[in-house]
Chain A
Amino acid sequence: GNSVTQMEGPVTLSEEAFLTINCTYTATGYPSLFWYVQYPGEGLQLLLKATKADDKGSNKGFEATYRKETTSFHLEKGSVQVSDSAVYFCALSSETSGSRLTFGEGTQLTVNP
């Protein structure tokens, strides 16, 4: 079946530091890959997505590249801000799973001023 593995958290960084949150996946077929973010007290929001190999998703300074050869979709940001503090979820949707999303466990990010 499908599965998503994220790096364990929590992650604590200082403002302007470089961020990487690792995500690897197992899926049949050709999945689409997503990063969702959950800010404190808010619902899940789509941060970025990529639907085929070598695609790069980007939004709000965050980037992730769909790497089929390493089955990875690592999230990066060059300079984090305090407002980026949130829980980040990697997810996938594959042809064989229909429209359902399979999520990783989430990574808590705290950015200190």
Chain B
Amino acid sequence: GAGVSQTPSNKVTEKGKYVELRCDPISGHTALYWYRQSLGQGPEFLIYFQGTGAADDSGLPNDRFFAVRPEGSVSTLKIQRTERGDSAVYLCASSFLTGRQETQYFGPGTRLLVL
């Protein structure tokens, strides 16, 4: 079956611009997660959704970052006034349920470069 998909695969933008990154989770998965991976590092948690609501957004670095999942399926990560330090690979994952035992399935990521 189809896995987690993310668009675009690459995004180049200028400092100060606004960007949106999209994630399509596996059909039927109730939980959706966003992580950020800097070069040579492991992924770092940003936010996760259970259904339409953000269950934990404690990983968002500041108020320039915002994410939505209005219908409980597709999610969009929004970054305002981008900075060069936002350059990273943004990963989306989904799982059927939430909980520490659940397996998260990852998408290929969106590589964001802020010039």
Contacts and interface: CB of A to CB of B under 8 A. Distances in A.
Contact of B43 (A45, A51, A94, A103): A103
Contact of B42 (A42, A46, A97, A103): A103
Contact of A89 (B31, B42, B48, B103): B42
B56 to A, nearest CB: 5
B42 A100 contact: no
Interface of B: 3-4, 31, 33, 35, 40-45, 48, 55-56, 59, 91, 93, 95, 98-109
Contact of A99 (B4, B33, B44, B107): B33
Interface in A82-113: 89, 91, 93-95, 97-106
Given A44-B43, A106-B41, A100 B59 contact: yes
A49 interface: yes
B103 A46 contact: yes
A99 B31 contact: yes
A44 B55 contact: no
A2 B79 CA distance: 27
Most buried by B among A4, A45, A49, A99: A99
Contact of A100 (B33, B103, B108): B33
A106 B106 CA distance: 16
Contacts of A104: 42
A102 B45 contact: yes
A97 to B, nearest CB: 8
A79 to B, nearest CB: 26
A41 to B, nearest CB: 9
B35 to A, nearest CB: 8
Contacts of A43: 3-4, 91, 106-109
